[in-house]
Amino acid sequence: MEHQIYNIGTLAYIDEQLDELNEEFGDLPEKAEKQKVKADKAKETVDETEGIINDINEFISKARGTLVELKQREDKLKQQQFQVQNNKEFDAITNEIAFIKREHSKLSEQMRKEAMKLENLTVIQATQVKEYEEQQKEYTDRLNEIKTITKTQTSEIKSLSRKRETMIGKIGQEHIVRYERIRTMYGDAAVTISRTSCSGCFNSLPAQQMVDVRNNLEYVYYCESCGRILLPEDFEVDEDYVDSL
């Protein structure tokens, strides 16, 4: 029962399956790429915070050293004060000690503020790390999704492409050329007649053409409006046949 028009219908069915498989991919790669940008941005934020935290740690560590030095200088000056010869020298040292004390307290205060900042930033960074990990996981999930689909698709596409080749071998070359040309414009190059119309463009068909399509199954008729190949209204794909290909 391999009439020319049935073979074309079967080919169109196989192409429909292939198109669906290719569409399944859809915007997944684009989505994955967008997700990667998000994850990278989240990572940048984490790194930025990390940079500030490092700066503060460096400041605190330096300040700690400076505070020790100031204290040592103060102690030394206090020792010197015992040995001064006159009031002028005594006053000079007193002033210097007062200056050092002010510096010490100024730096201590600054250190306290920075330590508080550090504490806050550590909490903020923990949240940022969590956000980054979530974004990164979503990116990995998307990649895996693509991988899974690709894996299933590869075998299905291979099988369908083989069936396609088989069908092409059964159809006249001139029809294949025309079929492929229609395919560049419409995904569905061969469509059934629906009541009195072409189900591709919905234009009415001449009554005689409908009779011809029904009766001459070895002949190929085209819709005069859209150019698609017309399949008889009762055409149905024989799935068992497709499976056996």
Interacting residues with Zn ion (CB under 5 A): 198, 200-201, 223, 225-226, 228
Phi, psi of 126, deg, nearest 5 = -60, -40
Query: Cα–Cα distance between 105 and 175 in angstroms, integer?
Result: 94
The token duo for 88 is: 């002028």
User: What does the block give as tokens for 224?
Assistant: 């005069």
Q: Which is nearer to Zn ion, 123 or 207 (CB)?
A: 207
Token look-up 């510096």 returns 103
CB of 175 to Zn ion, least distance (A): 17
Considering beta carbons, is residue 173 or 184 the nearer one to Zn ion?
A: 184
Q: What is the 3-state secondary structure (H, E, C) of 167-185?
A: HHHHCCHHHHHHHHHHHCC
Name the residue nearer to Zn ion (CB basis): 142 or 228. Answer: 228
- Name the minimum Å distance from CB 211 to Zn ion: 17
For the bound state, the minimum distance from the C-beta of residue 200 to Zn ion, rounded and expressed in Å, comes to 4
**Minimum distance, C-beta of residue 222 to Zn ion, in the bound complex (Å):** 8
DSSP letters for 31-45? HHHHHHHHHHHHHHH
| Residue 188 or 238 having the CB closest to Zn ion | 188
CA dist 37 to 33, 73, 101, Å?
Answer: 6, 54, 51
Cβ closer to Zn ion: 9 or 200?
Answer: 200
**In whole angstroms, what is the distance from residue 57 CA to residue 63 CA?**
10
Residues paired with 191 in a beta bridge:
230
Let me know if 1 is exposed, middle or buried by CB neighbors in 10 A (0-12, 13-18, 19+).
exposed
Q: Report in angstroms how near the CB of residue 227 gets to Zn ion at its nearest.
A: 7
Nearer to Zn ion, 54 or 194 (CB): 194
Q: How far apart are the first and last CA of the chain?
A: 15
